[in-house]
Amino acid sequence: MALNTLPGADDITRVVLPNGITVLARENPNSPSMVISGYLGCGSQFDPDDKLGLAYFTSLALMRGTEQRDFQTIYHQLESMGASLGFGVSVHNASFAGRSLVEDISLLLEILADCIRHPVFPAEQVERLRAQMLTALAIRAQDTADMASLTFDRILFSKHPYGKPEDGYVETIQNICLEDIAAFHRACYGPSGMVIAGVGALAPARLIQEVERALGDWQNPNQSPIPELPRISPPQDAVRQHVEIPGKFQTDLVLGTLGPKRSSPDYMAAMLGNNILGQFGMMGRIGDVVREKEGLAYYASTSLNCWIEAGSWEVSAGVNPSNVDRALELILAEIRRFVKEPVTREELEDSQANFVGRLPLSMESNAGVANALLNLERFQLGLDYYRRYPEMVAEVTPEMILETARTYLDPERLIVVSAGTSKE
């Protein structure tokens, strides 16, 4: 896919149905299939503290039976046409994704609509789901990387939905009853704020007709408004915490602080800087020093997670318990260098070429394009964002990266979390 064939305002159709559902469509005549993806504004930000995981539990239960279809019927119909459909949850949204051949898109949308509008949450199926969720949580509790990340988020985003796990805790999942799930669905699921993207060999006008047929008459006058979330402040002091998990041969480290939200003007400079610090090539500067040169880590890299309200700028590493302090020392040294001096012109040009070159690759599939369209809507980027992207990447300078790094990364105020077996 060349840059001039990326999605743009001239080939993306965007309409808002009378009931508030936004439809985004882009035709791909070269594909016999159709992908639909989307979200509804009913994520874990609605979860009560004593019932964390309620939004996630509800989303998983949607396909366990409806007023018209039982569990077996739903999956038999999907399998008979070689289609797929699934749900998930983030802090802000419940998401869905499905695919089918073009000739089966009507039935796929019908099943989607049935699951989100008329679920009945059969008791037996809900208890099976609960058992699966509790098993997953037991596994999570023994995973050093998961527990380090979970603890880091809890500290960084204290008293904020970003700091609470979407899948909850054992005790909160056990607290959730059938009526809680049904009540959550009644209160939070509705057409207001729903977005659906469709990509494939179907004309946009036809897709819009199909979505209208399946969902156009959906109403929920009692749908809960999106809650106002508390403000997030950066750490005022350094924090060091260890999560003891006996019997582990690897300790996982997560350290970092707040990063920019997706709509921040310095987002692109932060992304390119993060690529240089711990992503590009063999995981950037940090991967080169900690893993390649010193051999202290099984992996070492950075990540920049930019969401609607805020973001996190993190370094993750998996090390032998005896190497934790030395690995941490090297990582902090690289962060101090990163906020002290500009990146080199060569480093920046390599990362800029990498960003521009990989964008078309991310949209080689219908699913990739659908996800890209959803991001345009989710973060209000504008329909011409991907056409402007190479220019925005090229505008970033070493000085802009340095200023952005200094804005967010204070080496003396980082949260450092390790999880594993303490060294003897």
pLDDT band at 4 (very low <50, low <70, confident <90, very high): low
Scanning 324-365, the segments in alpha helix (DSSP H) are 324-338, 345-361
Average pLDDT for residues 100-129, to the nearest whole number?
98
Q: Are residues 258 and 158 in contact, defined by beta-carbon separation less than 8 angstroms?
A: no
Query: What is the structure's pLDDT at 2?
Result: 57
Query: What is the structure's pLDDT at 281?
Result: 87
Q: Residue 258, CB half-sphere, CA atoms under 13 Å: how many?
A: 20
For residue 101, the tally of other CB atoms under 10 A from its CB is 16
Q: How many residues does the chain have?
A: 424
Crossing angle of helices 385-394 and 345-361, in 10° steps, is 170
- Residues 62-89 have pLDDT tens digits of 999 999 999 999 999 999 999 999 999 9
Query: What is the structure's pLDDT at 422?
Result: 86
- Residues 164-208 have pLDDT tens digits of 999 999 999 999 999 999 999 999 999 999 999 999 999 999 999
Record the tokens describing residue 217, joined without a space: 């008459």
Q: What percent of the chain has pLDDT over 90?
A: 97
Residue ranges of domains in the chain, CATH in brackets? 3-215 (3.30.830.10), 239-420 (3.30.830.10)
Query: What is the structure's pLDDT at 21?
Result: 98
DSSP string for 97-120: EEEEEGGGHHHHHHHHHHHHHSB-
pLDDT band at 282 (very low <50, low <70, confident <90, very high): confident
Record the tokens describing residue 396, joined without a space: 């970033």
Q: Which residues pair with 239 in a beta bridge?
A: 415
pTM of the model: 0.95
Query: What is the structure's pLDDT at 424?
Result: 57
- Residues 219-255 have pLDDT tens digits of 999 999 999 999 999 999 999 999 999 999 999 999 9
Q: Are residues 250 and 422 in contact, defined by beta-carbon separation less than 8 angstroms?
A: no
Q: Are residues 311 and 259 in contact, defined by beta-carbon separation less than 8 angstroms?
A: yes
Q: How far apart are CA 125 and CA 300, in angstroms?
A: 41
Residue 93 has pLDDT above 90, yes or no: yes
Query: What is the structure's pLDDT at 368?
Result: 97
Query: What is the structure's pLDDT at 197?
Result: 98
Minimal CA–CA distance to 62: which of 80, 87, 81? Answer: 87
Record the tokens describing residue 24, joined without a space: 């985004």
